[in-house]
Amino acid sequence: MLADPLVYILKGAGYEAMATPDGASAVKLAAGMEPDVMISDVIMPDLNGIETAKQILKARPQCRIVLLSGQAASADLLAKANEEGYHFEVLAKPVHPDRLLSILDPARYSALPHSKT
């Protein structure tokens, strides 16, 4: 599972991090936890990462979304989300831990539009 090593890396860098087995579980967790950032794979069974992100943004519009993509099928899903007015940060897999941590650094982060206004 990709999530477990990411949690380990993030916790090692001082972040509070949790993993879920699927998108529906992430939506439920986010409702109670109110995360500042959600990192998700685009391609997942049942609820994909884009649909998961949209649901989380409905409840927490200020949540930053970072999607990981390693499959060509992701391009169509991301294009559809862009047409709907959603703009997500996307990192190609495999992502190096230093690259992930650098984009999460608040000193280097500038807000990007991620949902319809």
Number of domains in the chain: 1
Residue 10 lies in a domain: yes
Residue 42 lies in a domain: yes
pTM of the full predicted structure? 0.80
Residue 81 lies in a domain: yes
Q: In what order do the strands lie in the sheet with 89-92?
A: 37-41, 64-69, 89-92
pLDDT at residue 9 tops 90: yes
- Give the model's confidence band at 47: pLDDT under 50 very low, under 70 low, under 90 confident, else very high: very high
List the CATH number of the domain containing 56: 3.40.50.2300
φ and ψ at residue 89, rounded to 5 degrees: -75, 135
Q: Are 41 and 68 spatial neighbours (Cβ–Cβ below 8 Å)?
A: yes
Residue 117 lies in a domain: no
Cα dihedral 100, 103, 104, 107 sign: positive
Among the residue ranges 46-55, 57-66, 97-106, the one predicted with the least confidence is: 97-106
Quick one: average pLDDT of 12-24? 92
pLDDT at residue 23 tops 50: yes
